[in-house]
Amino acid sequence: MSKRDFSMPQVGGETPRLGFCCKYVSQDGDVDSARPLNTTTVTMAYLGRLGAAAAYDKLASVVAHNLDAVHRQIEHVARRPKLERLHRISSDLLPGYTHPTAQPAYADRDLRALIESRLAVIGRLARDKDVRLSMHPGQFCVIASANPSALANGIAEFEYHAEMMALMGFGEGWHPHGAHINIHAGAKAVGAEGFRGGLARLSVTARNLITVENDEVSYGLDDLLPLAEDLPIVLDLHHHWIKSQGEYIEPDDPRIAFIIASWRGVRPVSHVSVSREDLLVGHDAGTRPDFLQLVQTGIKPKDLRGHSDLMWNHGVNDLVARHLTWTDFEVEAKLKNLASEALARHVEAGWSLRSSE
């Protein structure tokens, strides 16, 4: 396959997908117009300063808004071309769900009924409109740790995400409709066996939804491959570029076959981002960034880890297009839907160019 050969792939009859993560950004950058489509939150410290009734009212109002916002997000994604019908839901959908301060409110029958009914509608909407959904807990949510408290908290947080997915109708079977909850592997010291031990402590629903991605510091792609028989692996192209000090992995790399197999028949999902525009000012957009050259100019690797606003580099975008033969992509850029939409247009232009040759 040539470097520009990315004709439209359909593996197993599935059209590939690109999507954005958690937050909607309006075309003009207006925060107020975007607010109805974005979740908000409330701190547990603030709730703790309120009386019981006021705390309940505040949390219930935030939850009601968030449920509406996620519904609107999925409606927005459903109106996009099929290439863009993939979406990551924000983890702060239900703020403080596992925290003692918020638990009395979440045990309230009326709030519980609202959550269950609205999530059921959201899930049906996603399935009816063929929108693939995911969630991604923060990096503190780990299921492999030598610290018993961190491990217990991580498992509880993951089970919260699994419960939300189940209430949306994605609680039965192996990653139904491609739904998944992605985490980082956690503490390197406990190794693959430590991760398997944490995996065994999850509910069946959670184990059927979990995926794990490579990171830049602890678990690179090669470190995760021993877990390919235990759960699906999410390839993060940018993390791999950082961890390997500059390798751009291609679709014909032998490791891709292990990633595909780890999903057990479900179309995989990968992540993509690129280093910040303001860090690489003047860089040729048609040439992929060279990690070692950039470091030699004095740029620190930790700074290269930061995500750009848009998918500005056409060379990286072409790489994404080639990988679409086997995987979908979540675009982890700061301008969210604006970045994923621009990347989708780049990919479609490549398909059109290829079909006209």
Q: What is the DSSP string of 110-137?
A: HHHHHHHHHHHHHHHHHHHTT-EEEE--
Instruction: With beta carbons less than 8 A apart as the criterion, state whether 335 and 25 touch.
Output: yes
Query: Could you count the other beta carbons within 10 Å of the beta carbon of residue 250?
Result: 12
CA distances from 71 to 57, 81, 120, 135, 179 (A): 21, 18, 11, 15, 16
Per-residue pLDDT of the chain (357 residues; tens, 9 = 90+): 333 343 444 444 478 999 999 999 999 989 999 999 999 999 999 999 999 999 999 999 999 999 999 999 999 999 999 999 999 999 999 999 999 999 999 999 999 999 999 999 999 999 999 999 999 998 788 888 888 898 999 999 999 999 999 999 999 999 999 999 999 988 788 888 889 999 999 999 999 999 999 999 989 999 999 999 999 999 999 999 999 999 999 999 999 999 999 999 999 999 999 999 999 999 999 999 999 999 999 999 999 999 999 999 999 999 999 999 999 999 999 999 999 999 999 999 988 666 555
Instruction: With beta carbons less than 8 A apart as the criterion, state whether 133 and 168 touch.
Output: yes
What global pTM score does this model have?
Answer: 0.93
